[in-house]
Amino acid sequence: MRGGYANFIVHNRKGTLLISTAHIKPKNWGSEPAAFQPSAIHQWLARRRITISLVGFTTLVLFNVFVMQPIPRNPLAITSLGSLAGSGLLWIGLAVRSWSAGTLNKTRELTMVGPYSLVRNPLYVGSFMMMMGFCILCRDWPTMLFVAGPMSYLYWKQVRFEEDKLSRMFPVQWDDYIQSTPRFVPVRLNRAVLGGWSLFEWQRNREHQAVVASLLGVLGIWAWFVLRTST
């Protein structure tokens, strides 16, 4: 492994599971157990995280729109710090997702390039940034708390569940894997970040759907802003 950076890409019948390397203390420091054994409730939450997230997220968004009825921020404004913060998180998060999806190669191999040489879960990082950006633009504080709390907990359990699988599939490489790159926050740059992106992989992983959804979401927030401020 060049520079100690590695990513595992696993393809199975249910899809592709991709997690890159980690930067943590050695096991004998007591920072993390040698093997995470997910309980039944953890596995249940991991399998149903998308359904739970969608139900909770949609319910809170509808509550914010029809009950709290805030005036959203203008996503096109460049003089408002709130609008800049929300739009910045949204577009940077989308860029991280697109970078990650274009680097993801659905085969059994060890990769050491792109965002997966920096953090193990760049797709989750990008998605979290996008959700927080949308919440800021919508002034949707209940949903922001839901994203920062319950949703983060659900996806944390999913990450641990996936890493447990990989630790058993790659027992020899796993120690080096978890000592190289953090889960979510990068701590160093390297040359590997410059390579590996492919438009073919980006299209094959259907990341264009996230781009279209984001554009429609921003357009909807702008229309909502115009409607609320013109009446």
- Per residue in 61-93, pLDDT (tens digit) is 889 889 999 999 999 999 999 999 999 999 999
Structural domain that includes position 22: 2-229
Chain centroid, CA 173 distance in Å:
24
Amino acid (1-letter code) at residue 116 = Y
Confidence of residue 57 (pLDDT cuts 50, 70, 90): confident
Provide the edge-to-edge strand list for the sheet that holds 7-12.
Answer: 15-20, 7-12, 109-111
- Per residue in 86-137, pLDDT (tens digit) is 999 999 999 999 999 998 776 666 566 789 888 888 999 999 999 999 999 9
Q: Are the C-beta atoms of residues 97 and 126 closer than 8 Å to each other?
A: yes
CATH code of the domain covering residue 168: 1.20.120.1630
- Per residue in 2-28, pLDDT (tens digit) is 444 344 444 444 444 444 433 333 343
Chain centroid, CA 100 distance in Å:
10
CA distance 11 to 109: 10
pLDDT at residue 46, rounded to an integer? 65
CA distance 102 to 126: 13
Taking only Cα atoms into account, the Rg of the chain, rounded to an integer number of angstroms, comes to 19
β-bridge partners, 36: none
pTM of the model: 0.76
32: pLDDT strictly greater than 50: no
Q: Are the C-beta atoms of residues 183 and 36 closer than 8 Å to each other?
A: no
Number of domains composing the chain:
1
The structure tokens listed for 201 are: 């992989």
CA distance 178 to 29: 14
DSSP 52-107: HHHHHHHHHHHHIIIII------TT-SS-HHHHHHHHHHHHHHHHHHHHHHH---S
Across the range 225-231, mean pLDDT stands at 89
Range ranked top by mean pLDDT from 1-5, 35-39, 167-171: 167-171
- Per residue in 175-218, pLDDT (tens digit) is 776 788 788 999 888 887 888 898 998 998 899 999 999 999 99
CA distances for 165 relative to 154, 169, 174, angstroms: 17, 6, 11
